[in-house]
Structure 1
Amino acid sequence: MAIAFLSVLYSGRSPKAPGTAGSALSVLLGLPILLYSAQTLFLLACLLGIIAVREIDKWEAYSGKHDEKWIVIDELVGVWLAMAIIGAVAGCSVSLMILAFGTFRLFDIWKPSIIGRVDRKLKGGLGVVLDDVLAGLVAGVFSLVVLAILSRFGVDLSLW
């Protein structure tokens, strides 16, 4: 059961790009919740993040390995935060969810500034999850800036 949770229903076991596979499945899993309520998605991301820290700590104590590639529950937490931020302000559309996914993956892979520092310095479950939390929050805010700029040019992604 812990492996299914940590790997987001085994999507993290993808032989290629497990983080991207986990993030993509997480967007699909989060959509029905977002359609119900952006606040609910945000709160569930927070709750799952707390549970993930504990479960990752237990897994790392068992395996002796830190931040294994197949563990992608942290990607779920991050992308759900980005989706919730965008959804709360701009709504839910295919283009907005692609924006949430894309910006989250950008910041999760690039790891600029504090995101990279957290990834390098913190160990255990908190280190695994917190950099994705920060990437999700930055991605959500960055996406809102992109949407504001696009709206100045008459482009409304919430319609697509």
Structure 2
Amino acid sequence: MEMVIYQSFVASCATVVGLFAGGEWKGLKSEMENYEMGKASYIMNLVGSTVTWQAFSIGSMGLIMEVSSIFANAIGAVGLPIVPILAVIFFHDKMYGVKAISMVLAVWGFISYMYQHYQDDGKSKGENLNAQKDSPPDQVQEVDK
């Protein structure tokens, strides 16, 4: 948890410094007032994005701690095409070639990860069965089915 908190704190500090150093803070009020859906929607969008990113960060850290970093990366890769697909469906965004290729690669990477786990699982079950056949009868262990 501390890693997520420190990482978010440093990112927030860097963003605030960049906001004030670049003079972008002067345009925030006009940006909020010119937002098509209104001020309340603008603020809800910012708060929703913040909460969603925090949930993603904590969830990723949980996956890394409980399962593995590779699995967390695979889940992140399979989640990558979801946003563009939802943008195409709900916001009628155009699907460009680069977007389609990145989505295909993300899904391909996840399928490759799952297939590798399937192969490794089959190998380990085969090795367990061979070890069980070779061991003396008094040392036979049950193999997961």
**Do both proteins adopt the same fold according to a TM-score greater than 0.5, normalized to the shorter chain?**
no
State the TM-score, normalizing by the size of structure 1.
0.29
State the TM-score, normalizing by the size of structure 2.
0.31
Q: Pick 1 or 2: higher relative contact order, CA cutoff 8 A, min separation 6.
A: 1
